[in-house]
Amino acid sequence: MSQVQPAAAGADQAGEGAVVPPDEGVGGGSGDVATTEAQVAVVVSTSGDERRVEYGDDADNEGEEAATVQGSKEGTEELLRKVVYSEEAAYKLYCDYGHRMGFSIRKGKQSYFTGTKRIRTKDYFCSKEGLKEGEKLTDANFNDPHTRTNCRAMVRFRVNDHGEWKVIRLVSDHNHNLARPEERHLLRSARSLIAGRSSSVDAMVYAGYQVQGGAPQLPAGSTSAANNVENSKQHLLLGYGAMAKMLAVGTGDLQSLVSYLKSRANEDGMFYWDVQLDQSGRMTNFFWRDGRSRIDYDCFSDVVVFDSTYRLSKQNLLCAPFVGVNHHWQTTMYGCALLADESMSAFVWLFKSFLESMGNRHPQSIFTNLDQVVSKAIEDVFPNTCHRIAHWHIQKNAHSRLGALNVSKVFNKMFTKCIQGCDSETEFEETWAQMIHEFKLQDNKWLKKLYKLKQKWCSALNKCTFDGGVEYEPQCDSMSNIFNSVADKLTSLSAFAVAVDKLSEDWREKELEEDTRCLQKPPACIIKHSDILNHAAKVYTHRIYKLFETDFLDGCGATKFKELPCEDNNTHQFEMTMQGRGSRVCTVRLNMSTMELSCSCSKFETMGLLCPHALKALSIKNICKIPETYILKRWTKDAKKWVFNPKQYESSYQECMDDDDAYCNYVMRYAYDLVTKSQGQEELRKALWETLENGEKELEKYLGNGTQYAPSYAA
């Protein structure tokens, strides 16, 4: 953001009422807007009445005793009550208020004490203050963060002779939409390097001052407060935001979180937690996951969803879960983070910590929200992982970015088709161009930026990347609301960590219920004597079987086909057209000798299940079983069996035999998995004890100490 310009020549002789022009562009022109594209979404409407106040009113006419408030007083208590001691602290105080309410801030006018350069009054505005020269306000652009709407919301601070900054005027109503709670961390003035709760006392604490009785004291040996602050300026800028937030959290809250994580590590031998320290040794960012999350990741690490849009409002900390999908197509937890610092270095640290906790096993795909910093960190830490921008985040942003277009059914249909309805890059380009032309969106900055990132979100451009169906309904709804019931309702960090663990346990209870259902009986086949459906019912979990069955019925009951000639007698090629799905044609190739199967729709590549077109081809050629190559283990009832037995994979077994660390790692995870499976069932526990005792006896024989056996716990 541009800084306040120095006073013009002669201003220091102009007296108390002399006013310095606001930041470049404030009140008109093309100055820096405090909310940038792709950083803020505004959707919640406030009062429709536009409050008008002249910014240039003489400050001397305003009394110091009580602030004048024009508009709603909701959420203004701290702003009106608090006294700060510097221009920077006043700016941050209003930024804090703006963050809570959902708008970004611009610096404005200031006046000086007569004959000095000491500030007497200072104004701060909503970032949508004023009007840009030549820009017309329309329904489509009114809530665009780059559009000025002549919003009159502002605050005026007055500085007294003791250097105390107090609010003397507040206009609280806005004439535009405000950001929702889950989007407020994207506001530019809330994301600056020195954002967060602050005062001159805070700054002095970070610079090395002692605070006693509420008054800042110089450190021993210091001769000048100004010199000390100047020397530490770079240090403050590098880590001020994170430190200010953690100071606001409080030592007790941090200690309770650390105590909880330590207790979990004592209870769970495979529990992992990590904390990042700032330059002064203060705790800033946390990551943790339990042993079960590691087991689940070992089984289903192909797809990870990382969502950094949730925030704890009281502590102003970002809470970011790592989740995936299990073999029942249910959400599963891989870990969680609390971040005070949203810098590149913080996300790089987090992703490296996550990888370390998971044995440095990289996912095939990772889905995130639209965040440039997160994207760069992923490129650094996950160079071979396909980074995707989740569709639900694009749709959320579209609601605030596209204004009146959101009510157009025609536009929404075309926009959704561009995201996930096109079959090829050519079809996507044609649909996008048609949408831009029909709705005259050539100058829409958000859509321009989105188009540049098309490789990360357009389904037609990612047909060879596995996504596990996380973008399908209803999985998409589940993924987009992970922490809605947790993130903003708790008062302490330890309570949040407990709630995350409780959420994980709830998900695991649902997984156990599905596991039990799969063990009790196979799913009912809608066609009882269909060999291929009975085969699917035998291998797949119930929920995955139902997806398979739907595709089978679509393929065999609602698909027209035409067989094309092939030079190879063992290869058959078909053109498939789904009834009721327009004129889209998919091409299927089937080699009868190798049982290789491919379809141009690429559903198997993205979801791991054969598509209706492929199943139709198998039916035409009287193939009554799913080819073994096309049964993805992650969707089967046996998805979590034999995962840690290295004999299943020759390379893993050889690694265990040759490397002590690899051997120890495999055995510990293998044992942990067996213990987890036996919990809650007495017979299984007895069986596991007997197995361990028998194993111990065999080891003792080899060690030449076979007569000394441990007492039996299996009886």
Q: State which of 259-263, 313-317, 564-568, 653-657 shows the largest mean pLDDT.
A: 259-263
Tell which phi-psi region holds residue 428, choosing left (phi > 0), alpha (psi between -120 and 50) or beta.
alpha
Per DSSP (E only), the strands in 609-713 are none
Residue 692 has pLDDT above 60, yes or no: yes
Residue 200 has pLDDT above 50, yes or no: no
Partners of 447 in the β-ladder: none
Partners of 560 in the β-ladder: 577
351, with CB counted inside 10 A (0-12, 13-18, 19+), is buried
- 202 band by pLDDT with thresholds 50, 70 and 90: very low
Last residue of a domain, one of 442, 464, 486: 464
Please enumerate in sequence order all residues whose Cβ is within 8 A of that of 8, keeping only pairs 6 or more positions apart, or say none. Answer: 20, 21
- In contact, 48 and 147? CB cutoff 8 Å: no
Q: Is 122 within the bounds of a domain?
A: yes
- 484 band by pLDDT with thresholds 50, 70 and 90: low
The reply to whether 404 and 374 lie within a common domain is: no
Residue 197 has pLDDT above 90, yes or no: no
Q: Is 601 within the bounds of a domain?
A: yes
pLDDT of 204 = 34
Closest CA to 544 of 507, 514, 519: 514
- In contact, 422 and 429? CB cutoff 8 Å: no
Please enumerate in sequence order all residues whose Cβ is within 8 A of that of 210, keeping only pairs 6 or more positions apart, or say none. Answer: 216, 217, 219
SS3 101: helix
How far, in Å, CA of 271 to CA of 288, rounded?
8
Q: How many CB atoms lie within 10 A of CB 311?
A: 24
As a dihedral over the C-alpha atoms of residue 675, residue 681, residue 682, residue 686, rounded to 10 degrees, the angle is: -40
Mean pLDDT for all residues in the chain? 78
Q: Is 569 within the bounds of a domain?
A: yes
Q: Is 410 within the bounds of a domain?
A: yes
Q: Is 53 within the bounds of a domain?
A: no
Dig out the tokens for 596 from the structure: 């290789």
Q: Is 714 within the bounds of a domain?
A: no
pLDDT of 30 = 33
pLDDT of 471 = 84
Please enumerate in sequence order all residues whose Cβ is within 8 A of that of 582, keeping only pairs 6 or more positions apart, or say none. Answer: none
The reply to whether 367 and 490 lie within a common domain is: yes
The reply to whether 349 and 494 lie within a common domain is: yes
Residue 648 has pLDDT above 60, yes or no: no
Among residues of the chain, what percentage have pLDDT more than 90?
41
Q: Is 505 within the bounds of a domain?
A: yes
Mean pLDDT, to the nearest integer, of 299-303? 93
How far, in Å, CA of 129 to CA of 107, rounded?
10
How far, in Å, CA of 124 to CA of 157, rounded?
9
How far, in Å, CA of 79 to CA of 77, rounded?
6
* Span 384-424, pLDDT tens digits: 999 999 998 898 888 888 888 888 999 999 999 999 989 89
b or e along 161-181 (b: 16 or more beta carbons within 10 Å of the residue's beta carbon)? eeeebbbbbbbbbbbbbbbee
The reply to whether 336 and 383 lie within a common domain is: yes
Least reliable range by pLDDT among 90-94, 140-144, 369-373, 689-693:
140-144
Residue 179 has pLDDT above 70, yes or no: yes
Least reliable range by pLDDT among 43-47, 76-80, 138-142, 271-275:
43-47
Higher pLDDT, 573 or 578: 573
pLDDT of 491 = 64
Residue 226 has pLDDT above 50, yes or no: no
SS3 257: helix
Please give the backbone phi and psi of residue 37, each rounded to the nearest 5 degrees, phi first.
-60, 145
pLDDT of 215 = 35
DSSP tag of 135: P
Place of tokens 């209803």: 474
Closest CA to 88 of 173, 13, 192, 17: 192
Last residue of a domain, one of 521, 542, 562: 521
The number of distinct structural domains making up the chain is 5
Last residue of a domain, one of 443, 464, 485: 464
Partners of 286 in the β-ladder: 275, 338
Higher pLDDT, 582 or 305: 305
* Span 521-562, pLDDT tens digits: 889 899 989 999 999 999 999 999 999 999 999 988 878 899
Among residues of the chain, what percentage have pLDDT more than 70?
73
Place of tokens 């970032």: 127
The reply to whether 375 and 517 lie within a common domain is: yes
Instruction: Calculate Rg over the CA atoms of the chain.
Output: 31
The reply to whether 543 and 580 lie within a common domain is: yes
Mean pLDDT, to the nearest integer, of 233-241? 40
Specify the amino acid at residue 366.
Answer: I
Partners of 598 in the β-ladder: 589
pLDDT of 54 = 33
Mean pLDDT, to the nearest integer, of 336-347? 91
The reply to whether 401 and 374 lie within a common domain is: no
Specify the amino acid at residue 629.
Answer: T
Q: What is the CATH number of the domain that holds 291?
A: 3.30.420
Per DSSP (E only), the strands in 525-633 are 559-564, 571-578, 585-591, 596-599
Dig out the tokens for 40 from the structure: 């803020």
Higher pLDDT, 94 or 144: 94
pLDDT of 135 = 79
The reply to whether 527 and 590 lie within a common domain is: yes
pLDDT of 169 = 92
Three-state secondary structure string covering 662-691: HHHHHHHHHHHHHHHHHCCCHHHHHHHHHH
* Span 602-626, pLDDT tens digits: 999 999 999 999 999 999 999 999 9
pLDDT of 304 = 96
The reply to whether 475 and 333 lie within a common domain is: yes
Q: Is 208 within the bounds of a domain?
A: no
Mean pLDDT, to the nearest integer, of 414-440? 94
Mean pLDDT, to the nearest integer, of 462-474? 86
The reply to whether 339 and 291 lie within a common domain is: yes
How far, in Å, CA of 51 to CA of 172, rounded?
9
Higher pLDDT, 250 or 161: 161
The domain in which residue 258 lies consists of: 250-390+470-521
pLDDT of 472 = 79
pLDDT of 310 = 84
Place of tokens 């769970």: 268
pLDDT of 643 = 67
The reply to whether 621 and 661 lie within a common domain is: no
The reply to whether 432 and 492 lie within a common domain is: no
- In contact, 43 and 400? CB cutoff 8 Å: yes
pLDDT of 680 = 64
